[in-house]
Amino acid sequence: MSIRFTDVFYTYNPKTPLEHQALKGINLEIVEGSFVAIVGRTGCGKSTMVQHINALLHPTSGVVTVDDFQNVPEKKKRSKNTKELRQKVGLVFQFPEYQLFEETVEKDVAFGPKNFGKTEEEAMEAAHKALLEVGLGEEFFKRSPFELSGGEKRRAAIAGVLAIGPQYLVVDEPTAGLDPLGSKEMMALFQKVHEAGATIILVTHDMALVKRYCDKVIVVDDGTIAKVTTPDEFFLEDIEKYSLDSPELYKLARFCIAHGADFDMKSIHGVTAFSEAIAKWKGVKHE
Amino acid sequence: MNPVLQIEDLSFAYLDDKNVLNHVSLSIEPGQYATLIGHNGSGKSTLSKLIMGLMSGYDGKIFLFGEEVNRKNLRSLTSKVGIVFQNPDNQFVGSTVADDIAFGLENSCVKREEMEAIIQEVACDVGMEKFLSHEPASLSGGQKQRVAIAGVLAMNPSLVIFDEATAMLDPRGKKEIRALIQKMRTKNPDLAILSITHDIEEAAASDRVFVLEKGSILFAGSPHEVFCHYEELVNARLDIPFAVKMCRALRNQGMHVPENITTVEALEEFLCQ
Amino acid sequence: MNNFTLGKYVPYNSFLHRMDPRVKLAMTVCLMVCVFLAYSTWSMTFLVGGILFILAVILLRCTHMGIKDVLKSLRSLWFMLFFLMIIYIVVPRQTHTLPIAWEVGAWVVYWDSFADAGKIMLRLITMMTITMTLTASTKPLDLTYALEWYMTPLKPLHFPAAEIAMTISIALRFIPTLLDDTSRVMKAQASRGVDMEHGKLMQKITGITSLIIPLFVSSFMRSEELANAMECRGYDPTAKRTRYRRLKARFSDFVFLIVANALLAGCIYMCVTSFDVFALFGVTAL
C-alpha cells in the first residue's frame, strides 16, 4: 500500500489572467512505513503536491492514488470515500495553531475523531491519548486552547490530527518558529509516531532535520521531481542549485576539499567524525 | 558617548502572573550589533514592547540615548528607535510598498515634496526599488520584511530592534535579512542594532550576546565568551553555533584552535593556514 | 467569491480610469439624480431613460468590463424584476393615462402597469450600470480617498474623516490576507473531517464554527499587532499628519464635471417645466 503520483499536472486559476501551472508532470511513489522528506524552494509546488494526497486538490490531469483511493480530474471517475481518505492521511499545515477553536483543549482535539464517526467517549479517549503523546498532560485538558503558549498550541493542534489515527502523516514545516529544543522535541514525537507504524511525509526547508530523521529525500524543483535519493547521497552533492542550503557540516567539508583535503565524504556524518578527518588532514596527532 | 539603550534592573509581570522579566540589566553602545537570545517564553518579546513603550508598569529604569524614559519624552525618544516585528503581514500598513514606507514619514509631518526622495533612497537600500507600486499580497515574506526595514530606515533611527524578524521566513528570506543588516551597518556605522532571536548562527556573528533565561540575563558578553558555557546553554534550551561545536571537537582531537572562533567563516580562515 | 463582479475593479487605462475619483463620484451622483427624476409623459420618461441608459452602457464599455461579467451581475436582478412585473399587473391601479391592456371580468389591466414596470426596470438597470462603471474604473482605495475629501468639511465638527479613511484603507489592504487565512483554515478543518456537503445539521453548524472562530481570533491578533506596529511608527490618529497620496484633478476632469452638471441641469429643467419634446414636433405623446 502506498501513495502514488502518475503524470500529475496541476494548474491554479485555469483560463484566467492568474493562471499558473504548479505541477508539471509528477511521478512519484511513497512506500508505506517510510520517513520521507519533500524539499524545494518556496513556490516549487511542495504544498500543492501534498494537498493532492488528501484530496483537498484534484489534479488537472493525471492520477494520485492513496492505497485504493483514486484522485482524478473527473468528479465521476473519482473515488467517493473522501472522508475515509482524510482519516487515513493526516495533514498538518504550517502554523497549525491557527486552527484551534473549541472551548477546551480536549474538545478541540476530539473534534477530528468525532467528524470521522467516533462516539463522544471514543473521541475523548483518543484525544487524551494524543495529548499525552505530544507532551500535554492532564492539566491542559480542560484549559482553553487560547490560553496556551505558542509551542503548547502547536502541540495541541498536532494532537488534533494524531487523534484521528492516520496511517500517513503529512507535516508542513512543523518546526517553523520553534526554539532549538522545541524543534528537537517535535521531531522526536514524529519519530515515535513513525516507529508505531505510520508513514511520515515531512515538507521542510531545514536540511538538518532531513539529515537526522529521514530515510528518503524528494527534491521538487519548479513543479517537477528533480531527484529522489537518500539523505547521505543528497548532501554529497552541492544542493545550492535547488536553492537549498546545505547543512554547515557539508559546506565546511566541501570548503576543506577545495583547499586540498582528501576526505571520504561518506564517512563524515557527524561533528566528531568530521573533526577526526580534519585532524588527520592537518597531521595532528591525537594526544 | 551615551549608550543608545540602557536597561537597569528591569522587572515586569503581566497582571497577577509571576515575573516575566527579573532584574534585567543590559546596555548597547552606538554602532554595536547586539543579539538577545533565549528560548520561547524567556521574556524576549516582552522586553522589546517595554522598550518601545507599548506596555508600562515595570520596575526599574529604561534609558534611551542617555535619557530616562518617562511618559512625557516617550514619543520623542522612541521616534529615534525603529522596530521590525515578527509577522511580515501585521506591520504592513500601506496599500502599496511606497505607501507603507511613507506611513512613518506622514506621521512625522514630513513635507510631501521631501517624501518621494526619501522613499526612493530607502527602497534602493533594501533592494525593493522596483516594487514601489506592488501590493503586499504579491510580495513574499522576506520582501515584506525588507519593506518594513525600509520604513524604519526612512525615519533615520539611531537604534533598530529586530524582534524575531526572521522567525517566520524561509531560509532564503532569512539570508536576505541578514545580508541587509550587514549592509545597513556598513552604510551607517553609528547605527546600533538589537536583534531578538533564537537563531544561534546570527548571535555567533554579532558583537555582543545577551542570553535570557526565564526572565533573567544568564550570560552577557562577546560571542566567544558566551558560547564557551556549553552545558548551561543547552540547559537553557538553546543550541551552540556549529563553528563552536567544531572547534570543541577539534580541540578534543588535539588541535590548538583559537578561543575566539564562533563563526564558520573564521573557522574556514583558520583551517586555510 | 470570485464571481461577485458587481464591485470588481477592472485593471485597464481608459479615460475613466484616469479620471479623478472625486469627479467620478460627483458625476455618478449627477447621473443617478437624472435617472430618478420624473418627466412629463411616458414618452419623455422612456426617451430620457433610454438616452441615459445608452450613455451608461457606453461608459461601461469604456472601462473594458466584459459583457459576460455584466450579464452575470444582472442575473440576480432578472428574477426580482419579473416578480415586480407580476405585482404591478395584479394590483389594481387608481389612475391611468393609457388604454386598457385586457379585461377579465372585474380584473382590469392597463398599459400603465406595464409602463410602470418597464420604467422601474430601466431605472434599475441604468443605476446598476452607472455603479458598475464607477467601481470598474476606480480602485476601492481611490474611492476611499475621494469620500474622505468630501468629508473634510465635517472635520471642524469633529467628524473623524481621516480615521475612517485610514480604517477603510487598512481593511481593504487586508482583504487578500484574510481571504488567504480563510482558505487555510478551511483546508485545515477539511483535513480534520469537516464536511460542509453531507452530514447532520449539528455537524454543519460545528463545521461553520470551526471556520469562524479561528478567523475571528486571527483577525483580532492581527489587528493588535498592527496597532502596536502603527504606534511604534508614530501614528497618532488625533495629531496632524501630512499625506503622501494626493488626488490631482486635471483640466479634462473639470470638463467632464461641467458636462455632467449641464446634463443634470437639463434634466432638472425638463422635470420642473414638464417639458415635452414630442409636443414641440406636434406629435401626440402618450
In this complex, the chains that touch C, judged by 3 or more CB pairs closer than 8 A, are A, B
* A188 domain residue, yes or no: no
C219 and C133 in one domain? no
Number of domains in chain A: 2
C169 and C83 in one domain? no
C146 and C112 in one domain? yes
Q: Searching chain C, which residue's CA lies closest to the CA of residue B93?
A: C170
* C8 domain residue, yes or no: no
* A141 domain residue, yes or no: no
Q: Which chain B positions have a beta carbon within 8 Å of C177's beta carbon? A: 89, 136-137
Query: Using the 8-state DSSP alphabet, how is residue B141 labeled?
Result: H
Rounded distance between C-alpha atoms, residue C193 and residue C196, angstroms: 10
**SS3 readout for C144-209:** HHHHHHHHHHHHHHCCCHHHHHHHHHHHHHHHHHHHHHHHHHHHHHHHCCCCCCCCCHHHHHHHHH
For A37, the enclosing helix (H) or strand (E) is strand A35-39
Identify residue B54 by its one-letter amino acid code: L
What's the pLDDT at B157? Answer: 95
Residue in A42, A256, A278 closest to B140 by CB = A42
Quickly count helices (H) and strands (E) in chain A: 10, 10
Residue in B99, B107, B112 closest to C233 by CB = B107
Does A149 contact chain B (CB < 8 Å)?
A: yes
Rounded distance between C-alpha atoms, residue A209 and residue A191, angstroms: 11
**SS3 readout for C123-156:** HHHHHHHHHHHHHHHCCHHHHHHHHHHHHHHHHH
Rounded distance between C-alpha atoms, residue A148 and residue A135, angstroms: 13
Residue B91's Cβ-count burial label (10 Å; 0-12, 13-18, 19+) is buried
Q: Which chain A positions have a beta carbon within 8 Å of B254's beta carbon? A: 279, 284-287
Query: Using the 8-state DSSP alphabet, how is residue B109 labeled?
Result: T
* A91 domain residue, yes or no: no
A251 and A234 in one domain? no
Write down the residue that cell numbers 534592573 correspond to: B9
Does C185 contact chain A (CB < 8 Å)?
A: yes
C274 and C135 in one domain? yes
* A134 domain residue, yes or no: no
What's the pLDDT at C1? Answer: 34
* C192 domain residue, yes or no: yes
Quickly count helices (H) and strands (E) in chain C: 10, 2
* C10 domain residue, yes or no: no
**Subunit contact A151:B41, Cβ cutoff 8 A:** yes
Q: Which chain A positions have a beta carbon within 8 Å of C187's beta carbon? A: 51, 56, 93
Phi, psi of A119 (to 5 degrees): -75, 170
In this complex, the chains that touch A, judged by 3 or more CB pairs closer than 8 A, are B, C
* C125 domain residue, yes or no: yes
**Subunit contact A112:C192, Cβ cutoff 8 A:** yes
Range of the domain at A269: 247-287
Q: Report which of residues C276 and A218 the model is more confident about.
A: A218
* A16 domain residue, yes or no: yes
A215 and A257 in one domain? no
What's the pLDDT at C2? Answer: 39
Number of domains in chain C: 2
A277 and A222 in one domain? no
Residue-wise pLDDT for A4-59, tens only, equals 999 999 999 888 777 889 999 999 999 999 999 999 988 889 999 999 999 999 99
Residue in C180, C230, C244 closest to B102 by CB = C244
* A120 domain residue, yes or no: no
- B262, B265, B271, B272 alpha-carbon torsion, rounded to 10°: -150
Q: Searching chain C, which residue's CA lies closest to the CA of residue A93?
A: C188
Strand order, beta sheet including B33-37: B81-84, B159-163, B192-197, B33-37, B208-213, B216-221
Measuring CA to CA, which residue among B241, B233, B242 is closest to residue B213? Answer: B233
SS3 C223: helix
Rounded distance between C-alpha atoms, residue C286 and residue C283, angstroms: 10
Which CATH number do you get for residue A66?
3.40.50.300
Do A125 and A114 touch, CB atoms closer than 8 A? Answer: no
A280 and A209 in one domain? no
B195, β-bridge pairs: B35, B162
Q: What is the per-residue DSSP string for A46-87?
A: HHHHHHHHTTSS--SEEEEEETTEEE-SSTTTS-S-HHHHHH
Do B221 and B29 touch, CB atoms closer than 8 A? Answer: no
Range of the domain at C210: 161-232
Residue A275 grid cell: 573533526
* C73 domain residue, yes or no: yes
C138 and C44 in one domain? yes
What's the pLDDT at C5? Answer: 43
Q: Searching chain B, which residue's CA lies closest to the CA of residue C239?
A: B107
Q: Which of A51, A75, A87, A101 to mutate to test the interface with C (most CBs of C within 10 A)?
A: A101
Place A286 in a pLDDT band, splitting at 50, 70 and 90. Answer: low
C107 and C29 in one domain? yes
* C81 domain residue, yes or no: yes
A69 and A1 in one domain? yes
Count of alpha carbons within 13 angstroms of residue A248, beta-carbon side: 15
SS3 B72: coil
C223 and C197 in one domain? yes
A235 and A256 in one domain? no
| Backbone Cα Rg of chain C | 25
* A175 domain residue, yes or no: no
B35, β-bridge pairs: B195, B209
Residue in B172, B252, B254 closest to A285 by CB = B254
C143 and C170 in one domain? no
**Subunit contact A51:C187, Cβ cutoff 8 A:** yes
- Where does residue B211 fall: left (phi above 0), alpha (psi -120 to 50 degrees), or beta otherwise? beta
Average pLDDT value for residue range A143-156: 91
CA distance A64 to chain C (A): 17
* C202 domain residue, yes or no: yes
N- to C-terminal Cα distance for chain B? 39
Q: Which chain B positions have a beta carbon within 8 Å of A275's beta carbon? A: 246, 249-250, 252-253
10-residue averages of pLDDT along chain B (273 residues):
92 84 94 92 87 91 92 91 95 94 94 94 95 92 95 96 92 90 94 92 92 92 91 86 90 87 89 82
A92, β-bridge pairs: A171
CA distance B93 to chain C (A): 6
A262 and A235 in one domain? no
CA distance B77 to chain A (A): 31
Count residue pairs from A and B with Cβ separation < 8 A.
82
**Subunit contact C193:A164, Cβ cutoff 8 A:** yes
C122 and C54 in one domain? yes
Q: Which residues of C touch B (CB under 8 A)?
A: 141, 169-170, 172-173, 176-177, 180, 221-222, 225-226, 228-236, 239-246
Residue B208 grid cell: 555582543
C251 and C183 in one domain? no
Q: Searching chain B, which residue's CA lies closest to the CA of residue C231?
A: B54
C40 and C137 in one domain? yes
Residue in B171, B200, B268 closest to A252 by CB = B268
Does B87 contact chain C (CB < 8 Å)?
A: yes
**Subunit contact C245:B99, Cβ cutoff 8 A:** yes
Query: Using the 8-state DSSP alphabet, how is residue A35 labeled?
Result: E
Looking at chain A from residue 240 to 279, which residues have their Cβ under 8 Å from any Cβ of chain B?
Answer: 243-245, 248-249, 251-252, 255-256, 259, 271-272, 274-276, 278-279
**Subunit contact B252:A149, Cβ cutoff 8 A:** no
A274 and A210 in one domain? no
**Subunit contact C172:B95, Cβ cutoff 8 A:** yes
Does C203 contact chain A (CB < 8 Å)?
A: yes
* C6 domain residue, yes or no: no
Sorted by sequence, the CB contacts under 8 Å of residue C159 that are 6+ apart come out as C151
* A189 domain residue, yes or no: no
Residue in B54, B90, B102 closest to C226 by CB = B90
Residue in A245, A248, A279 closest to B254 by CB = A279
Does C260 contact chain A (CB < 8 Å)?
A: no
Q: Which chain A positions have a beta carbon within 8 Å of B145's beta carbon? A: none
Lowest mean pLDDT among A91-100, A275-284, C143-152, C162-171: A275-284
A271 and A216 in one domain? no
Phi, psi of C62 (to 5 degrees): -65, -25
**Subunit contact A41:B242, Cβ cutoff 8 A:** no
A74 and A45 in one domain? yes
Reading chain C (286 residues) residue by residue, the pLDDT tens digits are 333 444 678 888 888 888 999 999 999 999 999 999 888 888 888 888 999 999 998 998 888 887 777 777 777 777 888 888 888 877 777 777 777 777 777 777 778 888 888 888 889 889 988 988 998 899 888 888 898 899 888 888 888 888 888 999 999 899 999 999 999 999 999 999 998 777 788 888 888 999 999 999 999 999 999 999 999 999 998 888 898 988 888 888 999 999 999 999 999 998 888 877 777 777 766 6
Rounded distance between C-alpha atoms, residue B269 and residue C17, angstroms: 60
Write down the residue that cell numbers 510631501 correspond to: B112
Measuring CA to CA, which residue among A178, A175, A226 is closest to residue A27? Answer: A226
In this complex, the chains that touch B, judged by 3 or more CB pairs closer than 8 A, are A, C
Residue A19 grid cell: 493562471
Q: Which of A47, A95, A179 to mutate to test the interface with B (most CBs of B within 10 A)?
A: A179
Residue in C172, C180, C225 closest to B90 by CB = C225
